[in-house]
Amino acid sequence: MSKVKLKDKYWHRVGNKNWVFGVKKNEDVVLRLQLHSKIPIKRHTKVKGTASPFDENSIYWAKRTGKSIMIPTYKYHLIQEQKGRCGICGDSFLPDDLIERNHIIPKALEGKTIRSNVHAVH
């Protein structure tokens, strides 16, 4: 394939931008690579002190990563969304707390098991 055909196949003009890399899906739509400048920066926090995934502080690691063999994934997601705090009293969860999933509108009153109706509690 010639250089000109390669250029016409992969490099396009989109709006006021020249030399946009991508492929044409049809005459109006170009599937293109995302620009680095358009990807939001995600800052990461350092691990505190001597914390380790093996020290059984599952609440700390739930807030950080959402992964542990000690707590199911759905509870981790609830803990992360609630920033490590109980959905009823607002106190922080401690490593030895028993964490339960609670329905805001009880199932007996036709509450559904959907994310907007569930929270983690002591």
Residue 3's pLDDT band, with cuts at 50, 70 and 90, is very high
DSSP secondary-structure letter at 34?
A: P
- Give the pTM: 0.45
Res 109: pLDDT: 82
C-alpha triplet 76, 79, 84: angle, nearest 5°: 135
The tens digit of pLDDT for each residue in 80-111 reads 888 888 888 888 877 677 788 888 888 788 77
Mean pLDDT for the stretch of residues 42-50: 79
Residue type, 5: K
| Residue 103: alpha-carbon gap to chain centroid | 23
DSSP secondary-structure letter at 53?
A: T
